[in-house]
Amino acid sequence: MSRRILFLVKGYELMYRSLLLAALLLVCATAALGQTARVGDGARLLRFPDIHGDMIAFVYAGDIWTVPAAGEALGAQTEG
């Protein structure tokens, strides 16, 4: 007796399809959550960048930071 007939005979086809669908949704959700967690992990709190002359200022975690546009030393202007 084939597997397909066994599911039909015993009435497990609906349960089998439901479990298969649940497993597929779980795999898709896990993949989607994993992808969104990797995107932008390093700069989630970086906000409001602005350039003034040769300096770049931005807000990170509620503090204002400045850095020379040449990319040298970074310094916090406020602490909060």
Looking at residue 46, its pLDDT comes to 77
Tens digit of pLDDT at every position of the chain (80 positions): 566 665 555 666 777 778 888 888 888 787 777 665 554 555 567 788 899 888 888 888 788 888 888 877 766 666 65
Predicted TM-score of the model (pTM): 0.40
Domain residue ranges of the chain, discontinuous segments joined by +: 3-39, 42-76
Vertex 70, ends 66 and 76: CA angle to 5°? 15
**Which distant-in-sequence residues (6+ apart) come within 8 Å of 51 by Cβ?**
57, 69
Looking at residue 74, its pLDDT comes to 67
State the CB neighbour count (10 A cutoff) for residue 66.
15
